[in-house]
Amino acid sequence: MLTILLSLALTAQAGPAVVTTPPGTGPTVRPMMAPPPPPPPLPVPVVAPDTRPYVALVTDLGTITVRLENKRAPVTSANFLRYVDAKRMDGFKFYRSTKSWGPANQLVQAGNRGDARKNFPPIAHEPTKTSGLTNCKGALSMARLNPGDATTDFFLLLSDIKGFDSDAPGGDGAGFAVFGEIVSGADVAAAIFNAPISPTAGDGVMKGQMLEPQVTIKTARRVPAPADAPKGCVVKAP
């Protein structure tokens, strides 16, 4: 009995039995893997700066800002800008509104209504079939009697007038040269369009379309491109 008790005591003092695991038979421990690197950032699209000229026409009724398509209509745009830069456009008049033509053919016309010595020589005609532009609502187009005789007069369109395009069916094949469009102040152009008309002034198709009083362009100056300038409509879709 004493022998049994001594044996149990020695076992308790020795502590728990240690179980050894033969090499290669234990659980597999996988090494920790580094997380994958983040994907490279997407390239930021490069937006080319808008280098087209912008001009603010300050009139009796407010300011109209236009953008010139100087790459597509370089001759007509340069002609407009030389009047602006020489300050010869200061004092030009909006003198015509085509209210009598109905809602489908709305425009206002401006130009030199005073000293003809302010006029530069006439310019070559740039038809829309060559420029890729179109006479849509808001377009800035050159007025003329015959192709190649345009000097100062221009239109601001308040409706689409696709019959003014050079390739319009039934047109004269030349049309009117678009060279820009309104980017702000369309409400001012509308106010000019709706201004009072003389019941007697004007000859031929111009009768019933002459503004009275005329609306003066007090100043015409280049301005920076507005941050929120709309894309516009004058460039024909490909």
The string of pLDDT tens digits covering residues 165-179 is: 999 998 899 999 999
In this predicted structure, what is the pLDDT of residue 27? 60
C-alpha span between 103 and 160 (Å, rounded):
10
Is residue 193 within 8 A of residue 99, CB to CB? The reply is yes
Q: Could you read off the pLDDT of 27-80 as tens digits, one per residue?
A: 665 667 778 888 888 887 777 789 999 999 999 999 999 999 999 999 999 999
- Cα 118 from Cα 90, distance rounded (Å): 11
For tokens 């740039």, the residue is 126
Which amino acid type is present at position 68? Answer: L
CA–CA distance, 85 with 96 (Å, rounded to integer): 24
Look at residue 138 in the predicted model and tell me its pLDDT.
98
Distances (CA, A) of 78 to 67, 140, 141, 180: 13, 14, 13, 12
For residues 124 and 238, the model is more confident at 124
**Can you give the residue ranges of every domain in the chain?**
54-115+125-223
User: Looking at residue 105, what is its pLDDT?
Assistant: 95
| Res 23: pLDDT | 55
Lowest-confidence pick of 35-39, 86-90, 212-216: 35-39
**Quick one: fold of 54-115+125-223?**
Cyclophilin (2.40.100)
Contact 94, 110 (CB under 8 A): yes
Q: Indicate the pLDDT class of residue 1, thresholds 50, 70 and 90.
A: very low
Query: Model-level pTM?
Result: 0.80
Element of type H or E holding 206: none
In the structure, how many helices (H) and strands (E) does the chain have? 4, 8
Q: What is the pLDDT of residues 184-213, one digit of tens each?
A: 999 999 999 999 999 999 888 899 999 999
Instruction: Say yes or no to pLDDT of 22 above 60.
Output: no
